[in-house]
Structure formats: structure tokens, C-alpha cells
Chains A and B, each alone.
Chain A
Amino acid sequence: MISFLRRQGYLLEYSLASLARRPGKHLGLVLVYATLVFLLASTLLFTQSLRQESALVLAESPELIVQRLLAGRHDLIPASYLEQLGTIRGVGERYGRLWGYFYDPAVRANYTLMVPRAAPPAAGEVQLGAGVARARGLSPGDYLSLRSARGEPFSFRIAALLPADTELVSSDLMLLNAQDFRRFFDFPADRFTDIVLRVRNPVEVRKVAEKISLALPDTRPILREEILRTYDAVFGWRQGLVFVLLTGAMLAFVIFAWDRASGLSGEERREIGILKAIGWETGDVLRMKFWEGAALSLTAFLLGYLLAYVHVFHFAAVLFAPVLKGWAVLYPDFRPVPFVDGLQVATLFFFSVFPYTVATIIPIWRAAITDPDQVMR
């Protein structure tokens, strides 16, 4: 065992020395290789952190949301439904929510107006998300004027800005109290936007949903786990789409690697010839070349991964963000939280190191079986 390791150590040492003798030749390959890893890793790291973030946000959301449907479209739900929902066993807490969207022509963006359940702002006051505040150039104490549903101007005093660390979900948010909300939108007094239910026992959630759809056939219950599942699928699908698009780049890289490995210079051929003449076997040459490939792969992989990490977590993935997270006027200034896992690294391996190795095996073998007399003559 020890002699085996020592032998591999010597071969590695030789390969590194051989790489160091011709740095220019390998630099191009390492750069292309690292760029491929960078592209793939950026996609993976960024989407993974979006996925994490959405799971964290949704972890606190209610287990069940009940919406009323009218002709297949989302409609306001009568407050009387709250009573009926209360009779279902297993439902802990229930309350109606008031929220809606408002298009502000001044910045050509949609705001989300919402009445918070706990500590709503005083009458005539609002709390603003950072995105809205940025777009309108507002700070606490300023006034925000908007046109209500009846065409009357409405002035809100900005009581506070929402904390920056919630920006992913609060960027376009405007919090106000229920009376202001109803007056602003001319919202019927006996209606809510939707109803939220808390179900203590997770095993009962589906049963409760089933009972709701029987008791109130014009509603649709939406489960938190379904929202999570859909987000997961959407992010996975976006990642996959980018990967499919990058397959072209990967094929080009495979061809490049194949070409590089087959085009041995005369000097390299002579080197292999001499090695074989002094007693190296074909297997040794193959092993030496394997270590050479491993060193190149490791360098390119680490370089590409490191660059992707910096790109995603320090520069907020400027290159890919529009594709992967979607696009909006009031887009949150979002700093992804670093998250690395084995699945990502293994996936990256199969998209970079694996094709590289497969592409170079045959050229390397061709070089290794060269007869010494053929090249030295």
C-alpha cells in the first residue's frame, strides 16, 4: 500500500513538473475549463440560494389559504365564511386578510398594499418597503400621494421603512391599516381578499382542505406545502433550462479538450518515447497523464467554483440574475445567502470533469502506446 502511494506521489510530482515546463500550452485549457465551471456553478449556487430563501420565507406562512373563485377567477371572500370555517375540527386560528395591488403610474410599477395583522400603522400612515421608497425617493416623515379607486388623492405619511433584511419579500410592500385600505380601494366592508387558516397538526392539513372544498364549493384551499413544492419545481426547472442551454458550450469544451489532448507536440512525443525507452510502461504513462488531467481539472474546478462563489455571493450574480429570478421594476436588492451542498458539487463534476476525462482518455492512450523507436528515430 505504502509503495503504491509512493509510486503515485512520484508520478504526480513528475506530472506537475511537466505541466510547469509548458505553462502556456495549458493556460488556455484551464481558462476555458474554469469558465465552463464558472457558468454552471453560478447558476447552481444562485438558484439554490433563491430556493433556500423562499423556503425560509414560506416556513412562517400559514398552512392553508382559502380563496373564493368566481367564474374561475379569484374573487373577494365574504366575511361570513370565517364562521363556517371555524366549525371544521382541527382548525386552530383563522382570520381574513386584506391585500391588493396598486399600479403607480409615476414610477410605472406595481405596489403590494397590505394590512398587517399585528401592529398596523395609525390612520393616515404607512410603512414602506425599501424598493418603493427608493423608486419614489422617500424617507420616514415624507408624504406619499396616491390616487384612490374613486379618483380622489390620498396622502399617507411614511411612518417607517421596512427592515432591509426582508427586502426579498418586502421590496414593493406598503403596509397600512384596515380602514385606510378599505377607503382607498373602495373595498366592500363585509369582504376580505382571502382567508388564512392555521392547522396545528400537519397530518390533518389535507383533510381540512378536503372538508373546506366540500363545505364551501366556490372556494379553493391552497396548502403551504404545495406552494413550496411549486417553488422548488420552478427553480429546479430554471436551473435545468440554463444547463440545457449551456450543453452547447459543454460540447464545444469537450471537442476543445479532445483536440488539445490529441495534438501532442513533437517535444511531448519525444518525451514519452524517452520515458518508455528508460523503462516506463504504457500503464505508467497513462497514470502520469491521469495525474496531469487531475491537476488541471482540480485547478480549473476550484478556480471556476471560487469565481462563481464571488460572483453570486459578493456581486449578487449580476450576469444571470434576470434570467433566474425573473424581472420587475421594483426588484429587490437581494443578497443571496451562501449555501453549498454535495449535490451541487457532484452535479458540477458530471458536467465538467467527467466529460473532460472521457474526451481525453482515447488521445492519451494513443500517446501512451507510442513506440519509443518511432518517435526518437
Chain B
Amino acid sequence: MPLTPAILALNLASLTQSLLLVLAAGFAIQILRHWDLSSGSERQLGLERRTYLIATLVAWVFGGNLLSLLLFVYNAEQLSTQFVGAMCATGVLNANPWGWPTLGLKISLFFAGAAWLILNGVDNQAPDYPLVRPKYALLLLIAPLALAEVTAQALFFTALNPDLITSCCGSLFSPEGGGVAAEIAGLDPAVSLAALALSGLALLATGLRYWRRGRGGGLFALLAALTFGIALTAIVSGVALYVYEHPHHHCPFCLLKSGHDFVGYGLYVPLFAATALALGAGLMEVWRSAPSLKAIIAIRGPRLAGLSLILFALFYGLATWLVLRSNLLLLGPI
């Protein structure tokens, strides 16, 4: 394992986060077993008080997770100089089988955390806390995710062996790298960009319907999740090519570099935030029939959906502009 401060920081952060989530999960079990709002017992009072602590802890854990996601990608980018054949973060994540799962787990943890916090916000608005049990049950599902993430990350870093000069012979002992991501995105850019446009239109239609009439929140969330996947694929197989103006450069991380004006942040931040908001809105819809939540969800859900649509629009606008301004011609007559 390369002993760099960033790797130490990532391991430290993930370890602390999962410990805090395990703590929260222990409390979640108590809530699921003993929560009774009608009771005035000391235990119930203690539980109610502790929900504040858990909400604060969880908020911090997820905030930290967001930052550690960025640090993870940044760090992989910087480590790329130490591996033969790794040109950027993609090469480092390919260095062993744990790289991509770690990134995937970090992203899932981000979405799970955002959804939990949105749910918590809605629950706190209702006087009878109707979502306490589902909320803490969800926390019990998130805690193993965090444990998986810390394990995968530790395995990824410990299995990393930088190719350094050996005393006997310089180059022969450094294995030839497998190349960047082995062209994971062999998908036709025309197909992926068309899918992106179609999913955008479908999302706009369902989003506007939900925003104006308050119906179809679940469908909107589902489409948002689908669009998120399509968007990532389209970035890799289409948009990135236009940004780099190179028909074979697919890396989703090089977009974050200064050489490409940091456009990656402009694409990923709205995309991630929009998806998180849409998922939160969709999750809320499950409890729209709860009497004390009806009015709250009717206002909050569409509002979140509106915000999500604005962010999606930012993403689509930027992606379209990047394709249009590019000197690369991939589609249509040349």
C-alpha cells in the first residue's frame, strides 16, 4: 500500500464514518424495538432525544462521504503516475479488482445518505414522526453498505503495488499495463447520445407533471435513476470524446482536470445533486397516504422535483454545449 497522506486520510475517514454508522445502527435497533410516541416513559424520552444526535451524526457522515468521494477520485488521479500504463484515475482504478467497486459503493452511499436526510427532513415536519421506523430500518440497511465500502477501499489500497525501479533491472520487471480501461465504452456515441436525449425528454415530461399536478413522483424518481445511468454512459462513450476532441479518449475523470476547464464538475455536480433530489422525492411518495404527511409531501415533493429538474437542465445544457462547441465530428455528414 502506498503510504500517502491522502490514502491515510481516506482510510481514516471511512473507518470513522462506518463506526459512527454502526453506532447509529445499534440505536436504530432500539428504536425499532421500543419506539412508542404515546408513552411518556423515561426510555421513550431518551430515545426521542437521541434521534437528534443520530440525525446530526448521519448528516456529518454523509457530508464527509461526499468529500471523501472527491478525494478518492483526486487521489486516484495523482497515483496514476506510479503505475505503468495508467494515464489517469481510470488506470489506477483498474489496477486491481477493488477499484471500481469502491467507487460504486461510495456513490451508492452518497445517494442512500441524501435520500435518508430528505426523508428525515420530511419526518421532522410532522408532529407524530410517522417515518421513525422506516427511517431507522433504512439506516440498518445503509450501515452494511458503509462497512462494505471501508473494506473494499482498504482492500483496494493494500493491493496497490506501484511499479518502482528494482535494483537489478529497471524496466523489465514493470509489467506492461493493460491500457486505459480497455475501451469500456465501445458503445456507439450516436446511440448513447440519442438515449440521453430521449431519457431527458421523458424525465422533463414526468417531472413537469409531478411538479404541476403532484402525480407520478415514483415514476419520476425511477426515470431519474435511469437517466443517471444513461448520463454516465453517455459521458463516457460520447460527451467525453467531444470534450477531448479525440475519438478514442473515453476517460470520465480527465474531465475534472484543469486542462479541460474543470467541465467535469459542471457536469457531475448538477447530475448527482439532481438525481439525489429526485430519489428523495420519489422515496417520500411511498408515504404520501400517511395522514400527518399528506400536506407536507404534497408541497415538498414537487418542490424537490422542480429543483431537480433545474439541475438536470443545467447538466443537459452544459452537455449539449460541450458537444456543439467541439471541433470533433462523430455524427452526421463530414
Residues of A within 8 A of B20 (CB): 358
Contacts of B124 in A (CB 8 A): 283
**Are B2 and A361 in contact, with the CB atoms below 8 A?**
no
What's the tally of chain B residues with a CB closer than 8 Å to chain A?
43
Contact assessment for A233 and B170 in the assembled complex, using a CB-CB cutoff below 8 Å: no
Complex A-B: 18 CB contacts under 8 Å = A72-B168, A213-B169, A220-B169, A223-B170, A223-B171, A226-B171, A227-B165, A229-B81, A233-B162, A237-B3, A240-B7, A243-B5, A286-B52, A343-B74, A355-B16, A358-B16, A365-B52, A369-B52
Q: How far is the CB of A102 from chain B (nearest CB, A)?
A: 24
Decide yes or no whether B33 CB sits under 8 A from chain A: no
Residues of the B chain whose Cβ atoms lie less than 8 Å from the Cβ of A343: 6, 71, 74-75, 78
**A349 in contact with B60 (CB, 8 Å):** no
Partner of B52 from the list A221, A346, A368 (CB cut-off 8 Å) is A368
Cα distance A288–B4 in the bound complex, in angstroms: 36
**Cα A346 to Cα B66 with chains together (Å):** 11
Q: Which residues of A contact B (CB under 8 A)?
A: 40, 43-44, 72, 206, 209-210, 213, 220-223, 225-230, 232-233, 236-237, 239-241, 243-244, 282-283, 286, 290, 342-343, 346-347, 349-351, 354-355, 357-358, 361-362, 365, 368-369
How far does the Cβ of A345 sit from chain B's closest Cβ, in whole Å? 10
**Shortest Cβ distance from residue B72 to the other chain A in the assembled complex, whole angstroms:** 10
B261 interface residue, CB < 8 Å from A?
Answer: no
Given A346-B74, A358-B20, A361-B57, also A230-B165 (CB < 8 A): yes
Contacts A226-B174, A346-B67, A355-B16 given; 12 further ones with Cβ under 8 A? A72-B168, A240-B8, A243-B5, A290-B56, A346-B70, A346-B74, A347-B5, A350-B13, A350-B67, A351-B5, A358-B16, A362-B53
Q: How far, in whole Å, are A225 and B20 apart by their CA atoms in the complex?
A: 42
| A277-B302 Cα distance, complex, nearest whole Å | 36
Q: Which of B57, B168, B169, B170 has the most CB of A within 10 A?
A: B170
> Known interface pairs A213-B169, A226-B171, A368-B52. Does A236 touch B3 (Cβ–Cβ under 8 Å)?
yes
Q: Looking at the complex, which one of A226, A228, A365 makes contact with B53 (CB distance below 8 Å)? A: A365
What are the 5 closest A-B residue pairs judged by CB atoms, nearest first? A240-B3, A350-B9, A236-B4, A222-B170, A209-B171
- Determine whether the beta carbon of A220 is less than 8 Å from that of B52: no
How far is A282 from B55 in the complex, measured between Cα atoms in Å? 12
Q: Which of B67, B81, B82 has the most CB of A within 10 A?
A: B81
Is there an interface contact between B8 and A243, defined as CB atoms closer than 8 Å? yes
* Chief secondary structure at chain A's binding surface: helix
Contact B3 A221 (CB under 8 A): no
A349-B67, A350-B10, A350-B68 as given contacts; A226 in contact with B81, CB under 8 Å: no
Determine the residue in chain A with the shortest Cβ distance to B71: A346
Tell me what chain B mostly uses at the interface: helix, strand, loop, or mixed: helix
B176 at the interface (CB under 8 A from A): yes
In the complex, the answer to whether A206 meets B7 with C-beta atoms within 8 Å is: no
* Chain B residues at the A interface, C-beta cutoff of 8 Å: 2-10, 12-13, 16, 20, 49, 52-53, 56-57, 60, 64, 67-68, 70-71, 74-75, 78, 81-84, 124, 162-165, 168-172, 174, 176
B74 touching A342 by the CB < 8 A rule? Answer: yes
B172 engages A213 (CB within 8 Å): yes
**Least distance between A196 CB and chain B CB atoms (Å):** 14
Q: Chain B's nearest CB lies how many Å from the CB of A273? A: 15
Q: Which residues in B have their C-beta under 8 angstroms from that of A227?
A: 165
Q: How far is the CB of A234 from chain B (nearest CB, A)?
A: 9
- Distance, CA A213 to CA B173, complexed state (A): 12
Whether A354 contacts B64 in the complex (CB less than 8 A), given A222-B171, A232-B81, A346-B70, comes out as: yes
Residues of B within 8 A of A236 (CB): 2-5
Q: Which residues of A contact B168 (CB under 8 A)?
A: 72, 220
**Cα–Cα distance between A361 and B78 once the two chains are bound (Å):** 33
CB distance from A39 to the nearest CB of B (A): 12
Q: B2 touches which one: A209, A237, A342, A368 (CB < 8 A)?
A: A237
Q: Kindly state the separation between the CA atoms of A103 and B123 in the bound complex, as whole angstroms.
A: 77
Distance from A216 Cβ to chain B, minimum over Cβ atoms (Å): 12
- Residue in A286, A343, A361, A365 with the greatest tally of chain B CB atoms within 10 Å: A343
**Which residue of chain B has the shortest Cβ distance to A243 in the bound complex?**
B5
Which A residues are in CB contact (< 8 Å) with B10?
350
Give the distance in Å from the alpha carbon of A72 to the alpha carbon of B53 in the complex: 63
B8 and A221 form a contact (CB under 8 A): no
Query: Taking CB as reference atom, which chain A residue is nearest B9?
Result: A350
**Chain B residues closer than 8 Å to A228, beta-carbon distance:** 81
